[in-house]
């Protein structure tokens, strides 16, 4: 059975004060949820310990990025093993901001996937097309290629550690959202591509991200191939994030 996941990507936002107020409210709300949603909070790495302590086990914690190497002279990097060592269950890999702003290639992302899997953390692999690519009718082609490259070395039981998040680049932080039908079409194509790669596609969790809000979450999550969301801006307001969690 597919897991239903709502993950909060705080990006480079936060403070000790925000963590205390936001996580305190989110924790109370999670405890009151009457569905089977698995909630994951993904703060900046500096706040992981604080968030873990404040959550007190009611939700998982993740990191926003991991290195393509296990260890070594890579100042500023965080390895998959380090993330696992401090109790992080998830790691985001391949977010479009990492691809665009930091020049991460599909080859680098594949290395990060491998490091995360070897460390025992769950990978949330982000894929998505730009507006230019969508307007050219290349959305499915682009996303499928990203899946093939990033997950080329995954096999067997390792697939259980992979979650895929479709985040159309043109919808991230813009207020624009793919229609539920458009998002479903890409998710269905992703499941087909994963199946072609030998993955247990029907059992894998596929998330949607890209300006998910309380007023569109229910319609998005009702689609047959959308199993939850990777939430950005709305995750910084407890009431909005909890409303999205309830929409599962």
Catalytic, 97? Answer no
The active-site residue, picked from 38, 95, 104, 129, is 95
Catalytic residue among 97, 104, 129, 167: 167
Query: What is the C-alpha to C-alpha distance for residues 107 and 77, in angstroms, rounded to an integer?
Result: 17
167 is annotated as an active-site residue: yes
Q: What are phi and psi of 202, to 5 degrees?
A: -70, -15
Tokens linked to 170: 């043109």
As annotated, the active-site residues are 95, 167
């Amino acid at each position: 059975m597919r897991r239903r996941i709502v993950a909060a990507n705080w990006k480079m936002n936060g403070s000790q004060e925000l963590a205390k107020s936001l996580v305190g409210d989110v924790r109370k709300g999670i405890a009151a949820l009457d569905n089977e949603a698995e909630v994951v909070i993904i703060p900046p790495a500096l706040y992981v310990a604080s968030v873990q302590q404040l959550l007190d086990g009611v939700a998982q914690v993740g990191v926003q990025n991991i290195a393509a190497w296990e260890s070594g002279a890579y100042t500023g990097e965080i390895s998959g093993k380090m993330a696992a060592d401090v109790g992080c269950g998830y790691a985001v890999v391949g977010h479009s901001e990492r691809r665009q702003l930091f020049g991460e290639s599909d080859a680098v992302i594949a290395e990060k996937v491998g490091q995360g899997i070897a460390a025992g953390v769950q990978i949330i692999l982000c894929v998505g097309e730009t507006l230019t690519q969508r307007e050219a009718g290349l959305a499915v082609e682009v996303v499928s290629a990203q899946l093939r490259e990033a997950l080329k070395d995954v096999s067997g039981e390792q697939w259980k550690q992979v979650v895929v998040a479709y985040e159309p680049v043109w919808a991230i932080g813009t207020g624009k959202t793919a229609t539920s039908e458009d998002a479903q079409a890409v998710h269905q194509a992703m499941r087909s591509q994963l199946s072609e790669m030998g993955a247990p596609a029907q059992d894998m969790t596929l998330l949607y991200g890209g300006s998910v809000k309380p007023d569109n979450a229910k319609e998005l999550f009702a689609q047959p191939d959308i199993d939850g969301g990777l939430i950005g801006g709305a995750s910084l307001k407890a009431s909005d994030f909890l409303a999205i969690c309830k929409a599962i």
